[in-house]
Structure 1
Amino acid sequence: MNPLTVVTGGSRGIGAATVRQLAAAGHDVVFCYQRDSAAADAVLRDVHAAGRQGRAVRADTTDPEQVARLFDTAAELGEPTGLVNNAGTTSPIGPFTDLTLADLRRVVDVNLIGYVLCAQQAARRFASGGAIVNVSSAAATLGSPGEYVHYAAVKAATDTLTVGLAKELGPRNIRVNAVSPGIIDTEIHTVSGLPDRAAQVGAQTPLGRPGQPDEVAAAIVWLLSDAASYTSGAVLRVAGGR
């Protein structure tokens, strides 16, 4: 039986790269997206071109009913065996004192509440075991002073969620890990108000460049694979040395 993996935020950036690499590795994939149906359709075509089954579901991961619908769609293809918690957002870069309540709530809702809701569904439905990968951030340990301390704090919570779930779900043969990307060249930086941020900050890393979505996706795919069968509770840093 082919593995069946659910990916949140799968139409662009790290999520899209992950969906494509999973399909190439033999996974059937169900992914959600929020707005860009054209981008989702393009990713889905690549899944089918790889000879795998796939579905694209428009869903907001902060809504429990929509999360359940995402997993119901996956169940139409078989028993899910993997989850990639990737859907995320940030907010405009600026001093902590300028942070608005609306931006704070949105970052917490998408990057933490959404992860918890999706992990709950996975834990309930992975009857034969499986693997969860949470997409965290190097910001969790760097703190992001003067940029988005609240986002860094939420990503630190993601790391704690990963460790706790790995211990709770391990006896059920469900592995839980995280990847912790550094500065990656994706569209998320437009939300921060600095679309060129990846190039600027990437140049300051020991490797002298930003990372690419495929480099993070490769780590995610490995953590979902049998090659990582004894890896659980790990936070794998993919951050160019930062």
Structure 2
Amino acid sequence: MSTQLTVVTGGGRGIGAAISRRLAAAGHDLVITYRRDQDAAENVADQVRRSGRRALVAAVEMTDPGSIAELFDRVSAFGALTGLVNNAGAATAVGPLETNDLEDIRRDLEVNLFGVIACTQHAIGPLRRAGGGAIVNISSVAASLGGPGTYVHYAAAKAGVEAFTVGLAKELAAVNIRVNAVAPGTVWTDFHRDPDRPAKVAATIPMGRAGRPEEIAGAVAWLLSEDASYATGTTLRITGGL
């Protein structure tokens, strides 16, 4: 089996870190991107290398097309790309829409939707040249629940990610590039402005608890694997029943 090389955006923290570790265990070499926390990304990369896989760490600004282009130049020099996980996300603006800052909203939309589209555009050529591959976009249960009172703009961006997933899957199926998404529910990470939020919302989740990053990573690993070779254009909801 040929070596797999997967880019995980935002792969140094939270769900992204769990995805990076899980993919390394499944035999992937990794390119791990970060925006601010280089130490966290380097720590995950060290874990990947200790598992016997190669790892490259790259700083990327997801709202900057030039930064994304530079990332994929580095990826091409590192190896033949076979997978992309669009995990990097942001929810800077939190609260009712009326009181949120529009520039914060704009940045969130650019990170959560434009960044996904831009990274994917750059990945298509390398994936095609490798004979095909797989893309997994990280959405959110907010795409279907709407995020009222918290971040309706974030929910709108994630709904856009799911629509993008469906359309691009059809566009790329003929060149053997699969495109899927995973929509997590509330997960124990430092993504939340209120660190106790997962515990506070547990009563609203049918399973009675928030998820673990590793539970999301398992779904991503499956979608990138040969076991999912006939899966494209789908969104897996990993939400505890929501």
Shorter-chain TM range is over 0.9
Matched, 1:66 2:67: yes
Determine the C-alpha separation between the residues in 2 that align with 1:217 and 1:60: 23
Determine the C-alpha separation between the residues in 2 that align with 1:144 and 1:16: 25
- Which amino acid in 2 is paired with 1:104? I
Tell me how far 1:202 sits from its aligned partner: 2.5
Tell me how far 1:195 sits from its aligned partner: 2.0
Aligned to 1:238: 238
- Match runs of 1:183-202 below 5 Å: 183-190=186-193, 194-202=194-202
Matched, 1:166 2:203: no
Is the 8 Å Cα contact of residues 113 and 161 (structure 2) preserved in structure 1?
Answer: yes
Tell me, what secondary structure is at the counterpart of 2:221? helix
Of 229-238 and 56-65, deviating more is 56-65
Determine the C-alpha separation between the residues in 2 that align with 1:96 and 1:37: 32
Residues 123-163 of structure 1 deviation map (CA, whole Å, 9 limit, x = unaligned):
12212111000000000000111111111111100000000
Determine the C-alpha separation between the residues in 1 that align with 2:120 and 2:49: 26
Tell me, what secondary structure is at the counterpart of 1:188? coil
Tell me how far 1:201 sits from its aligned partner: 1.0
- Which amino acid in 2 is paired with 1:203? A
Matched, 1:132 2:135: yes
Listed as ranges, the gaps of 5+ residues in structure 1 are none
Determine the C-alpha separation between the residues in 2 that align with 1:54 and 1:203: 39
- Match runs of 1:68-217 below 5 Å: 68-126=69-127, 127=129, 128-190=131-193, 194-217=194-217
- Which amino acid in 1 is paired with 2:142? A
- Which amino acid in 2 is paired with 1:144? G
- Which amino acid in 2 is paired with 1:119? T
TM-score (norm 1): 0.96
The percentage of counterpart residues that share the same residue type is: 53
Listed as ranges, the gaps of 5+ residues in structure 2 are none
- Which amino acid in 2 is paired with 1:230? Y
Is the 8 Å Cα contact of residues 30 and 55 (structure 1) preserved in structure 2?
Answer: yes
RMSD of the TM alignment (CA)?
Answer: 1.0
Is the 8 Å Cα contact of residues 7 and 32 (structure 1) preserved in structure 2?
Answer: yes
Residues 30-67 of structure 1 deviation map (CA, whole Å, 9 limit, x = unaligned):
01001111111110101101100110101112211211
- Which amino acid in 1 is paired with 2:176? N
Is the 8 Å Cα contact of residues 202 and 211 (structure 1) preserved in structure 2?
Answer: no
TM-score (norm 2): 0.96
Is the 8 Å Cα contact of residues 93 and 108 (structure 2) preserved in structure 1?
Answer: no
Is the 8 Å Cα contact of residues 90 and 112 (structure 2) preserved in structure 1?
Answer: yes
Paired residues in the alignment total: 239
Tell me, what secondary structure is at the counterpart of 1:189? coil
Tell me how far 1:92 sits from its aligned partner: 4.1
Determine the C-alpha separation between the residues in 1 that align with 2:97 and 2:56: 40
Determine the C-alpha separation between the residues in 1 that align with 2:189 and 2:109: 20
